[in-house]
């Protein structure tokens, strides 16, 4: 039975709607987790700023130093969050390159050092 373009489009739309309905609980859960983590990060940043502002109000640190301290703490916190992600990506990339049998930067550097040593030895042998 031949289907018309309208029938196919309707079928595609039904499949897309079903996929959205089935994926919706998972997407909602992911959205809630992400929003909670963003909220926690924002709350932590606010707490840091409040703490530093109290120090400034009490005169324990200068306002300029307070702003710098908040900026440094938030920057350090951001770096600490990124480090594990970068390490995980590096490990995954190394595994991927190993599977494809592509040499890593360390492999190339090691071979370059060996080539330099061998070239030096060849030059020494030529001279003697």
pLDDT digits (tens, 9 = 90+) for 92-110: 887 887 788 888 788 889 9
What is the tally of structural domains in the chain? Answer: 1
The CA-atom distances, in angstroms, between 83 and each of 1, 36, 37, 106 are 58, 21, 18, 20
Report if residue 93 sits inside a domain: no
Report if residue 122 sits inside a domain: no
Q: What is the pTM of this model?
A: 0.34
Q: Where are the extended beta strands (E) located within the chain?
A: none
Inform me whether the pLDDT recorded for 69 exceeds 60.
yes
Inform me whether the pLDDT recorded for 23 exceeds 60.
no
- Domain interval for residue 37: 1-61
Report if residue 47 sits inside a domain: yes
CB atoms < 10 A from the CB of 50, how many? 11
Report if residue 45 sits inside a domain: yes
Please state, rounded to an integer, the average pLDDT across all residues of the chain: 76
Inform me whether the pLDDT recorded for 116 exceeds 70.
yes
Report if residue 49 sits inside a domain: yes
Report if residue 48 sits inside a domain: yes
Report if residue 30 sits inside a domain: yes
Dihedral over alpha carbons 31, 33, 37, 40 (to 10 degrees): 110
Report if residue 114 sits inside a domain: no
């Amino acid at each position: 039975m031949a289907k018309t373009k309208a029938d196919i489009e309707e079928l595609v739309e039904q499949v897309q709607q079903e996929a959205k309905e089935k994926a919706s609980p998972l997407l909602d859960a992911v959205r809630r987790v992400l929003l909670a983590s963003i909220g926690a990060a924002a709350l932590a940043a606010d707490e840091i700023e409040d703490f530093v502002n109290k120090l400034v109000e009490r005169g324990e640190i200068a306002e300029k130093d307070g702003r710098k301290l908040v900026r440094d703490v938030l920057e350090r916190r951001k770096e600490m969050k990124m480090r594990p992600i970068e390490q995980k990506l590096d490990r995954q990339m190394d595994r991927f390159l190993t599977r494809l049998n592509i040499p890593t930067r360390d492999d190339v550097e090691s071979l370059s050092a060996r080539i330099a040593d061998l070239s030096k030895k060849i030059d020494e042998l030529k001279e003697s």
